[in-house]
Structure 1
Amino acid sequence: MVTNTRLLAGLAGLLLIGALTACIGGETAPKVADPGAKEAPKQAEKPPEPIELKIHALGVSEQEFNNRFKDVLQKKYPHIKVVWLPTTGAANTIQEYVARGEIPDIIRNISSTVHTNYLNLGLGYDLRELVAKYKYDLNRFNPIFINGFKDLTSQSGELYGLPVSPFFSRVLYYNKDLFDKFGQPYLKDGMTWDEVYEVARKMTRVEDGVTYRGFSAFVATFLTYNEYSLSTLDPEKDQLSSFDTWKKIFDNYTRFYQIPNNPIARTLAEEQNVFQKGTVAIHADIYSPYLDLSKVNNWDMVSIPVMDGAPKKIGIFPPGYLLITKQSKYKDEAFQVIMEMLSDEVQMKDARNGFLPTVASKDMMNALGQDSAVHKGKNMKAVGYYEFAALRPARAKGKTLLDTNIADTLLRNAFVEAAQGKSDVNTVLRKTDELLKQEVEKEKSKTK
């Protein structure tokens, strides 16, 4: 009995060991890593398929586009080839590209023509879904550019584009050599128009047969880009907007051309460029990285004055906007390219080369022009001395749209007529009002 009992116990022990061995060798047993074994190589991620994105960037040359964006885009997205489409010439308007069925993926346009060159062509694509998808922060931009553009283009909150430099502020340029010649102190930031008028009056003179003008201007800058953000055509009515305010603006500027020996030039183009001759002391113009002042040996700039009672803001020529066409097959890639074009890295480089940033960045404004041979050492604080004024408001919904260039040209012509003394300010503004009404009626008749 003892022997049998021991035999059964031994057999049971062998069976238990066998069972444990089976469990250890089965799926539930932990595996012991072999320190000498090598990990299986991970499967390499498949590189993105090469694609081609076409951009129609009106107002920007291919050379400028390449200088500002090409290298950074190639580095960030080597699989994307961005093709710059020619924009000059009758065959290269966006309308012609669309008519040929050659619709680009990205379009650069300005706010005043976004309807005729984008929305009215059936190209509109709302960026909000991509903004949400990529968690893109719109608050980084100066809000006047986002809100103003939506006001101009949106029906139900759509966002069709993101703002890209260049845009242009307003400043006063002055010829330091002439101030030295006539013993006058230099201009300074924060001056009033009355103070500038007195300086212009003192600087205007004839010496040794040479007429020295105290003041000249790029006339469109103080009409179209005014501190009131005032449109020529009233947003709500078919008439000149705010007659009294336009009278105030006209009166302020026409007095400079009534100073003896300081007449406005024969054409607006000549008036715009007369400062280059070196015989004009003060010139009102836009601040622009493109402006060529190379013929003026010793110049600087100060803040543009603000009229008494007006908002202390600088009227600006608004930025361009980067838009994606709804026909594009590569909307995600197009948005990624736009995000890179508007990145802090790119905009800081732009700012150092003299381009105003569309993002709200004090660091970029402080770095403005530091790498520009033209602007380094100049009074760059003048460019943003006051806040930038908002974009001019759009026509109210349901009101007949009129090309802003048509309306603004009528206003400029009226100013020249008053500045030349051919008619008084009240008369030319009443005439402009009537002409605007006629132009609106012409537009209405096209839809009847």
Structure 2
Amino acid sequence: MSGKSIKWIAAAVGMAALTACSSGGKSPDKGAQEAAKPPEPYMMKVYAAGVQEAEFNSRYRSALESKFPYITFQFMANGKGASIQELVAAGEVPDLIRTDTPTLKAGYLDLKLGYDMRDVVKANKYDLKRFNPSFIQEIQDMAPDGQLYGLPVPPFFPVVLYYNKDLFNKFGVAYPKDGMSYDEVYELAKKLSTTDGGVTYRGFSSDLRNTIRDNQLSLPMLDPAKDGVGEMEKWKSIFNNLVRFYQIPNNTIADNSGLELGAFAKGNVAMQVASLSIYSNLPPEIDWDVVSVPMMAGAPQKMGQRAPAYWSISATSKHKEDAFKVIMEMLSDENQMKDSRNGFTTTLVNEEIRKNLGKDHAVFSKKHMDAIYFYDVAPPAPKRKPGLADVPGRTQEAAMFASFIEYAQGNSDVNTALRKAEETLQKALAEEKSK
């Protein structure tokens, strides 16, 4: 007999004994017997695209099996022939689904799996103010009437400024610090963009997903109300703030966004604006650290960020109440403290949990993790209005990134670059409307 079965039987015996004692040794009535009866064992299916089962096990399984001994948790890995669409088509619908905002429509709502948690939140008197309000707003903005289709799961991906200590030491430049502006970082970049011993050293790089897509102004790439790039003057300010770095001699931008993101890992780039992620690893030979992301002049003092994933309940689940309690356990203070110490940035506003970020992580424990929460996160970018055609986020990114790189390489001016991005997006929207 398995340990889990023994544990469940022991729980049942204990409850029966407790019932007998409370009734003075007399046979309890039928109602009392029903109340004392332990829940029937069953299997809860959990689907988490982008997460390996080993991570689910290390972060959640022991706590869940201890608290819910009558539930067997079946982890459903995303893989070939096992996408959420294929599972639904085969009748293998999960009870719990790890969703995210880029795929929420196609991988959850379009499959008729959307379950609004507002009633179960109210019934359990669950405090949504535990979470950073930006993360709750992000998913409710995806719904037509403010439905709550999930609760935010660590990690989110805060934007920081990475720097290579060896290069700052080599050229005798003081390290960057928290609270710097882009103007100050620009001055550092000029000092560190040089050649030495036949090697070109770049002062600055950026992950365009962070500096353009997840920008500090919460500016959407596709206008919420019309078919094109919105608020052109603000987009010009974002492009121009960034492009000057790539006009510094010896600091030419790479030919595409992927190569530009990977530039810092090569060891000849002094600074890079990019997101901090538990899932990415820099080469151990690079002596790096982080400070807070630089701020644009005149912009809100907020950090751009990529929203976290969300735990969502399937509308078809027969165990919605239990599913919500399982989510409550996974997102509890206790579990999020463990997560935080292991390097997963918390989705909570709890300061104590934030202060413990990376304490048990082999790499993060040696880094300046206070930089992560130096600024609060910017609010989410506005979404397209209901009824308007839309195109996938990756299509929007590709258009904006290609246009920026063309501008940064001196092949167009800012007006031409943004106009080209708009034309690409309008063409994609026209194709979407014709379907």
Q: Helix, strand or coil for the counterpart of 1:313?
A: coil
C-alpha distance in 1 between matches for 2:414 and 2:362:
42
Tell me, yes or no, if the aligned pair for 1:211 and 1:279 is still in contact at 8 Å: yes
SS at match of 2:44: strand
Whole-Å Cα distance in 2 between the matches of residues 142 and 210 of structure 1?
44
**Which digits, 9 at most, give the CA deviation of each residue in 1:394-414, with x for residues without a partner?**
111222222222112111111
Q: Which residue of 2 aligns with 1:40?
A: 25
Which structure 1 segments of 5+ residues have no match?
A: 1-37
**Are the counterparts in 1 of residues 256 and 402 from structure 2 also a CA contact under 8 Å?**
no
Matches within 5 A, 1:423-442: 423-442=412-431
Q: How does 1:9-88 map to 2 (within 5 A)?
A: 39-40=24-25, 45-88=36-79
Q: 1:191 maps to which residue?
A: 180
Query: Given that residues 276 and 296 in structure 1 are in contact (C-alpha distance below 8 angstroms), is that contact kept between their aligned partners in structure 2?
Result: no
Following TM superposition, by how much is the alpha carbon of 1:42 offset from its aligned partner in structure 2, in angstroms? Answer: 7.8
Deviation of 1:415 (Å): 1.2
Question: Which of 117, 127, 144 in structure 2 is aligned with 1:127?
Answer: 117
> Using the alignment, how far apart are the partners of 1:419 and 1:67 within structure 2?
44
Q: How does 1:17-416 map to 2 (within 5 A)?
A: 39-40=24-25, 45-89=36-80, 91-155=81-145, 157-416=146-405
* Residue 282 (structure 1) shift: 0.6
Give the secondary structure class of the aligned counterpart of 2:162: strand
Partner of 2:18: none
Please give the TM-score of this superposition, normalised by the length of structure 2: 0.90
Q: RMSD across aligned C-alpha pairs, in angstroms?
A: 1.6
**TM-score, scaled relative to structure 1:** 0.88
Task: Please list the CA deviations of residues 270-301 of structure 1 after superposition, one character each: whole Å capped at 9, or x if unmatched.
Answer: 22122122211111110111221233432111
Alpha-carbon shift at residue 351 of structure 1 (Å): 0.9
CA contact (8 A) 1:172 1:282 kept: yes
Q: Percent sequence identity over matched residues?
A: 47
Letter aligned with residue 111 of structure 1: T
After superposition, what is the alpha-carbon deviation per residue over 1:278-326, rounded to whole angstroms, capped at 9, x for unaligned?
2111111101112212334321111101111111100110011111111
Q: What residue in structure 2 maps to residue 27 of structure 1? A: none
Give per-residue Cα distances to partners, 1:165-194, cap 9 Å, x unaligned: 121000001011111111111110111111
Q: Which runs of 4+ in 1 moved over 4 A?
A: 41-44
1:121 counterpart SS class: coil
Separation in 2, partners of 1:246, 1:42: 75
Cα separation, 2, equivalents of 1:125 and 1:179: 51
In structure 2, relative to structure 1, the CA distance for the partners of 1:428 and 1:283 (3 Å cut) is: same
Q: Which has the larger radius of gyration?
A: 1
Letter in 1 for 2:25: A
Shift of 1:268: 2.2
Contact 1:176 1:298 in 2 (8 A): yes
Q: Tell me how far 1:383 sits from its aligned partner.
A: 0.9
For 1:59 and 1:136, locate their aligned partners in 2 and report how far apart those are by CA, in whole Å.
27
Residue identity matched to 2:122:
A
1:113-168 Cα offsets, whole Å, 9 max, x none, are 2111111111111112211222211121111111221121142x321111111210
Mapped contact 1:175–1:282 kept (Cα < 8 A): yes
SS of equivalent residue, structure 1 residue 169: strand
Query: For residues 39 and 428 of structure 1, what CA distance do their matches in structure 2 show?
Result: 83
Distance, in Å, in 2 between the alignment partners of 1:42 and 1:344 is 41
What SS does the aligned partner of 1:184 have? coil
Q: Is there any run of 5+ residues in structure 2 with no aligned partner, and where?
A: 1-22
Structure 2 match to 1:445: 434
SS in 1 for 2:172: coil
| More deviation, 53-62/167-176 | 53-62
CA distance in 2, matches of 1:296, 1:250: 33
Paired letter, 1:168:
F
More displaced 10-residue stretch of structure 1: 69-78 or 128-137: 128-137
CA drift at 1:41: 7.2
Instruction: Determine if contact 1:277/1:296 at 8 Å carries over to the other structure.
Output: no
* 2:218 and 2:379 in contact (8 A); partners too: yes
The verdict on how the C-alpha distance between 1:144 and 1:417 changes in structure 2, with shifts beyond 3 A counting, is: same
Q: Secondary structure at the match of 1:214?
A: coil
Aligned length: 407
CA–CA distance in 1 between the matches of 2:105 and 2:380? 16
